């Protein structure tokens, strides 16, 4: 079965579950009407179904290659990029003053997820451009904005972010790339960066790299890092392209998946660059891009989960083997089997949870931008690591279940089931590993003593109270689970030893996601009682939500046992 963009599901969530009506009451997003939103989602769905989805398998079978210093992308990827660019999808939420559409991040996130489900290898490219556009909007000089933003937004040029080095992965402060002031407003950038998604390719005339580097005399660590814009080709003041910059591709990484996405090792040899933001303010500027990317990566995971689920469902409805279903429901296919139903229902329920959490995070970001509210800023900050980690973990878990639904055929590459698992695996690693997301949640995001978390828990409990009139059997366990999470949050916030917090950070984040998923499922059931929405909410709350209890026990177990074995004993 070919991929079909879940436009109806997004429309339902946006209109009835995640609170978009609040956005339409602000001056900034007053024009983002229901009809406009639906039209955008519908057109994006057509793009995904008809143009991008056919490229998914092609990218895996015909990977990007490096030939004589030139990266050749997979067949059809140039046409796919052109369709994305000409449709305005790169600059969906960008400033209209530079050619963007000015749409809410919420709508852009929905479109990005659909694109990810259709062809993740290609979708990474516009996501990188979107992040750079946002960073330049907030931190670049007017001269840089005027020259670069219209061309990035139109898709004439594309973008990357360059953080990682061979010796400096998540510890960005250990980077060694150098920048030297040339005295003419430009800087010479020298160093090597690895894992650069779409670091080079043949689908745009210019590629704009945001590069972290250190100026002479700058302090060690993250405080001494600055950010520079380094184009592949040096532009003239009118935007026409001049000579090639001294930046080149050393090699392309040989990866587990995402073969259609060229991931490059980049070498900068005194390459000309321009400072973005303040000197030694590189991390603040880059995190503008990183936070955008983290929400996008969560959507990538959920998008691949949707595609893997559709693939598995089609196989389960077609594969004939055994008869175990209740009388009157037998189809003769393996979808009759209770365990296959368990897997498919789990997949669908978790996709809904991850998708709604991601959209709720996007709404919070939009509300913060539209109102300047500190409470909305705190809500967005709290939800970002949860959306990234749970979205990517859902992609991994659902794609693995997709292989299992296929049985032995899932292990055979020709069925295509394994590609989803291979492609999505990296989403738990890049833009900050999920462990880092969890540490951020219990560390930086709890510096307020858990105040932002408690406001959200108050909201969930209040909703559960009102929902008891309609669905007491669903609302009561949600209320109880939320109260348990509140107690766990109080415990986390009280721990002064950060190692203790970090030891339980991952299960705490997942427990939080479980409760959020139950909350959003119940909201859907309230809106559409007696439908499949209620049935799915019932399955999630009765079968998956109870996992929170064990997760919270794990989260509060401390760190002593993790360090009771020495490295030598672990190796024994």
Residue 141 is part of a domain; what is its CATH number?
1.10.540.10
> In the predicted model, what is the mean pLDDT of residues 566-572?
93
Q: With a cut of 60, say whether residue 262 has pLDDT above it.
A: yes
**pLDDT in the model for residue 283:** 85
> In the predicted model, what is the mean pLDDT of residues 477-490?
98
91 in any annotated domain: yes
Token output for 286: 């880059």
Model confidence at 428, pLDDT cuts 50, 70, 90, reads very high
Domain boundary among 249, 280, 311: 280
Same domain for 134 and 45, yes or no, is: yes
Q: With a cut of 80, say whether residue 484 has pLDDT above it.
A: yes
> In the predicted model, what is the mean pLDDT of residues 545-566?
97
434 in any annotated domain: no
- DSSP-based three-state secondary structure for 565: coil
411 in any annotated domain: no
**pLDDT in the model for residue 527:** 98
Same domain for 508 and 527, yes or no, is: yes
> In the predicted model, what is the mean pLDDT of residues 137-151?
97
Q: With a cut of 80, say whether residue 327 has pLDDT above it.
A: no
Same domain for 167 and 82, yes or no, is: no
- State what percent of residues in the chain have pLDDT above 90: 90
Same domain for 516 and 467, yes or no, is: yes
* Lowest-confidence pick of 29-38, 170-179, 476-485: 170-179
Q: With a cut of 70, say whether residue 1 has pLDDT above it.
A: no
**pLDDT in the model for residue 331:** 74
Same domain for 516 and 461, yes or no, is: yes
Model confidence at 284, pLDDT cuts 50, 70, 90, reads confident
**pLDDT in the model for residue 285:** 84
Cβ–Cβ contacts within 10 Å for residue 42, how many?
Answer: 13
Tens of pLDDT, residues 183-192: 999 999 999 9
536 in any annotated domain: yes
**pLDDT in the model for residue 320:** 87
**pLDDT in the model for residue 2:** 83
404 in any annotated domain: no
Range of the domain at 111: 7-148
- Which CATH number is 186's domain given? 2.40.110.20
- Which CATH number is 512's domain given? 1.20.1270
Annotated catalytic residue within 134, 393, 400, 431: 431
Cβ–Cβ contacts within 10 Å for residue 386, how many?
Answer: 24
Split into its structural domains, the chain has a count of 3
DSSP for 16-80?
Answer: HTS-THHHHTSSTTTT--HHHHHHHHHHHHHHIIIIIHHHHHHHHHS--EEETTEEEPPTTHHHH
Provide the angle, in degrees to the nearest 10, between the axes of the packed helices 547-555 and 505-527.
Answer: 150
Provide the angle, in degrees to the nearest 10, between the axes of the packed helices 451-467 and 374-406.
Answer: 70
**pLDDT in the model for residue 286:** 78
> In the predicted model, what is the mean pLDDT of residues 220-247?
94
- Give me the count of residues in the chain: 572
> In the predicted model, what is the mean pLDDT of residues 379-405?
98
Q: With a cut of 60, say whether residue 257 has pLDDT above it.
A: yes
Domain boundary among 119, 148, 177: 148
* Lowest-confidence pick of 164-178, 372-386, 401-415, 486-500: 164-178
Average pLDDT over the chain reads 95
Same domain for 193 and 269, yes or no, is: yes
Q: With a cut of 90, say whether residue 219 has pLDDT above it.
A: no
Same domain for 14 and 131, yes or no, is: yes
Residue 210: strand pairing partners: 161, 229
**pLDDT in the model for residue 208:** 98
300 in any annotated domain: no
> In the predicted model, what is the mean pLDDT of residues 374-396?
97
DSSP for 423-456?
Answer: HHGGGGTSSS-HHHHHHHHHTGGGTTTTHHHHHH
431 is catalytic: yes
pTM: 0.96
Same domain for 268 and 142, yes or no, is: no
Q: With a cut of 70, say whether residue 324 has pLDDT above it.
A: no
Model confidence at 288, pLDDT cuts 50, 70, 90, reads confident
Same domain for 117 and 198, yes or no, is: no
- State what percent of residues in the chain have pLDDT above 70: 98
CA distance 444 to 438: 10
Same domain for 194 and 109, yes or no, is: no
The residue that leads in pLDDT, 219 or 532, is: 532
Same domain for 214 and 123, yes or no, is: no
Nearest alpha-carbon partner for 509 in 373, 374, 394, 362: 394
Spell out a b/e string for 440-479, using b for 16 or more CB atoms within 10 Å of the CB, else e: bbbbebbeeebebbeebbeebbebbeebeeebeebbebbb
Same domain for 15 and 92, yes or no, is: yes
506 in any annotated domain: yes
Tens of pLDDT, residues 50-102: 999 999 999 999 999 999 888 999 999 999 999 999 999 999 999 999 999 99
Tens of pLDDT, residues 454-481: 999 999 999 999 999 999 999 999 999 9
Residue 196: strand pairing partners: 264
Domain boundary among 148, 176, 195: 148
Pairing state of beta strands 206-214 and 157-162?
parallel
397 in any annotated domain: no
């Amino acid at each position: 079965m070919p991929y079909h963009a879940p436009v109806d599901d997004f429309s339902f969530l946006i209109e009835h579950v995640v609170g978009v009506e609040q956005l339409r009451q602000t001056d900034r997003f007053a024009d983002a009407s229901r009809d406009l939103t639906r039209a955008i989602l519908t057109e994006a769905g057509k793009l995904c179904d008809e143009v991008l989805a056919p490229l998914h398998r092609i990218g895996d079978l015909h990977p990007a290659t490096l030939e004589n210093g030139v990266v050749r992308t997979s067949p059809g990827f140039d046409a796919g990029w052109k369709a994305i660019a000409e449709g305005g999808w790169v600059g969906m939420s960008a400033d209209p003053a530079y050619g963007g559409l000015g749409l809410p991040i919420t709508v852009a996130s929905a479109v990005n997820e659909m694109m990810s489900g259709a062809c993740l290898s290609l979708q990474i490219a516009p996501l990188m451009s979107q992040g750079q556009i946002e960073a330049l909007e907030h931190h670049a000089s007017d001269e840089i904005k005027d020259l670069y933003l219209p061309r990035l937004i139109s898709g004439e040029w594309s973008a990357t972010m360059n953080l990682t080095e061979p010796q400096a992965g998540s510890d960005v402060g250990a980077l060694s790339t150098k920048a030297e002031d040339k005295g003419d407003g430009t800087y010479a950038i020298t160093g090597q960066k690895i894992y650069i998604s779409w670091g080079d390719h043949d689908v745009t005339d210019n590629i704009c790299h945001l590069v972290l580097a250190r100026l002479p005399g700058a302090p060690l660590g993250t405080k001494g890092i600055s950010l520079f814009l380094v184009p592949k080709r040096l532009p003239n003041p009118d935007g026409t392209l001049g000579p090639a910059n001294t930046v080149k591709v050393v090699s392309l990484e040989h990866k587990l998946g995402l073969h259609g996405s060229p991931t490059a090792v980049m070498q900068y040899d005194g390459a000309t660059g321009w400072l973005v933001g303040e000197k030694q303010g590189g991390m603040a500027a880059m995190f503008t891009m990183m936070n955008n990317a983290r929400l996008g990566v969560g959507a990538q995971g959920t998008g691949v989960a949707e595609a893997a689920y559709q693939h598995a469902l089609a196989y389960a409805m077609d594969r004939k083997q055994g008869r175990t279903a209740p009388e009157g429901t037998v189809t003769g296919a393996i979808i009759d089997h209770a365990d296959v139903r368990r897997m498919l229902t789990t997949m669908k329920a978790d996709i809904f949870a991850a998708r709604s959490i991601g959209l709720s995070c996007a709404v919070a970001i939009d509300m913060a931008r539209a109102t300047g509210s500190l409470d909305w800023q705190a809500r967005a900050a709290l939800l970002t690591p949860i959306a990234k980690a749970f979205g990517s973990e859902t992609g991994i878990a659902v794609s693995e279940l997709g292989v299992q639904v296929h049985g032995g055929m899932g292990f055979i590459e020709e069925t295509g089931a394994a590609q989803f698992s291979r492609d999505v695996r990296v989403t738990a690693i890049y833009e900050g590993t999920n462990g880092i997301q969890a540490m951020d949640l219990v560390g930086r995001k709890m510096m307020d003593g858990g105040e932002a978390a408690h406001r959200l828990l108050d909201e969930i409990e209040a909703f559960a109270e009102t929902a008891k009139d309609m669905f007491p059997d669903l609302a009561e366990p949600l209320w109880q689970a939320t109260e348990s999470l509140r107690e766990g949050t109080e415990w986390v916030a009280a721990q002064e030893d950060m190692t203790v917090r970090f030891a339980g950070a991952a299960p705490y984040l997942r427990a939080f996601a479980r409760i959020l998923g139950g909350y959003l499922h119940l909201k859907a059931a309230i809106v559409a009682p007696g439908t499949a929405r209620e049935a799915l909410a019932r399955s999630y709350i009765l079968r998956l939500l109870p996992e929170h209890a064990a997760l919270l026990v794990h989260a509060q177990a401390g760190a002593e046992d993790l360090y009771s074995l020495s490295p030598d004993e672990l190796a024994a």
